Amino acid sequence: MRFRNSAVAIAAGLLCLTVVALAQGRLFFEAYGRDPETNNIPYDGRFTFARLKYTTGPGGYYYRGLPAWAHGYDTAERNLMKILNEVSYLGPHIEEGNVLALDDPELCKYPVAYLTEAGFWTMTDKEAAAFRAYLLKGGFVIFDDFRPVPYDHGGRGWENFEANMRRVLPDARFVDLDPSHPIFHSFFEIDSFNIVPQFYDVGRPVFRGLFEGNDPTKRLMAMVNLSTDIANYWEFSATGFRPIDESNQAYKLGVNYVMYGMTH
């Protein structure tokens, strides 16, 4: 009788797991290809994380059925803002973050912007012109989570990103950065890229920059995390998937990027 009860309990448990799995699968396919719900807040002068959205290219819905621009939304930015609030006096919005199109006039109110999965990034001519204006007026953008083909999860990788940026700034030249650049010392001291963890990418990450007027002595307009996914550590930092020390290193980069963007 005890064995029979145990068997029934196991069978019931398996049935529950099956139902949950089917429900999750149904929700995944129902949500596939849809933009997540966003709730932008009005500008009030406080720092607000601004995520850039775009029309996702083919194959970019591989993660939870989300469009490529929304991978990690909005857990990654909320966690980063919590850390930023704890270690600095910036006083950012923590639970609220804004999602803006490249040609949204509101974008120019936010000095720091973030774009993920540039291998799937598509852009209209209107968006390119608006993004050019944003950068030239003093905007700073962080590009994260993409890599060269064929390692870009089906995306068009660096080639797609570079082609888009040449539409934004035809003379743009990206240069590899080393740890001596001020962005890596704007808050935390990052003296070596050996501390930068890799969640699933192979090899070493590459950090590239785009400077105003292509002059390395001037303002950095764009920070590129290539062949790495820094925001993945922000997204999963409280789940136990990776060691805490690795998340801490990724947070250092995020904090430095924001501080640089706010002071240059």
**Topology (CATH) of 36-263:** Rossmann fold (3.40.50)
Spell out the per-residue pLDDT of the chain, length 264, in tens: 443 344 333 333 333 333 333 333 444 444 566 789 999 999 999 999 999 999 999 999 999 899 999 999 999 999 999 999 999 999 999 999 999 999 999 999 999 999 999 999 999 999 999 999 999 999 999 999 999 998 888 889 999 999 999 999 999 999 999 999 999 999 999 999 999 999 999 899 999 999 999 999 999 999 999 999 999 999 999 898 888 999 999 999 999 999 999 999
Contact between 212 and 218 (Cβ < 8 Å)? yes
Least Cα distance to 131 among 95, 100, 160 occurs for 100
- SS3 string of the chain? CHHHHHHHHHHHHHHHHHHHHHHHHHHHHHHCCCCCCCCCCCCCCCCCCEEEECCECCCCCCCCCCCHHHCCCCHHHHHHHHHHHHHCCCCCCCCCCEEEECCCHHHHHCCEEEEECHHHECCCHHHHHHHHHHHHCCCEEEEEEECCCCCCCCCCHHHHHHHHHHHHCCCCCEEECCCCCHHHHCCCCCCCHHHCCCCCCCCCCEEEEEEHHHCCCCCEEEEEEECECHHHHHHCCCCCCCCHHHHHHHHHHHHHHHHHHHHC
Tell me what pLDDT residue 181 has.
Answer: 98
| Sign of the alpha-carbon dihedral angle for 154, 211, 235, 64 | negative
Tell me what pLDDT residue 67 has.
Answer: 97
Tell me what pLDDT residue 189 has.
Answer: 98
Tell me what pLDDT residue 80 has.
Answer: 98
Q: Position of tokens 């890599």?
A: 147
Tell me what pLDDT residue 47 has.
Answer: 98
Question: Which tokens sit at 63?
Answer: 């993660």
Tell me what pLDDT residue 100 has.
Answer: 98
Tell me what pLDDT residue 35 has.
Answer: 87
Q: What is the largest CA-CA distance in the chain?
A: 80
Tell me what pLDDT residue 32 has.
Answer: 62
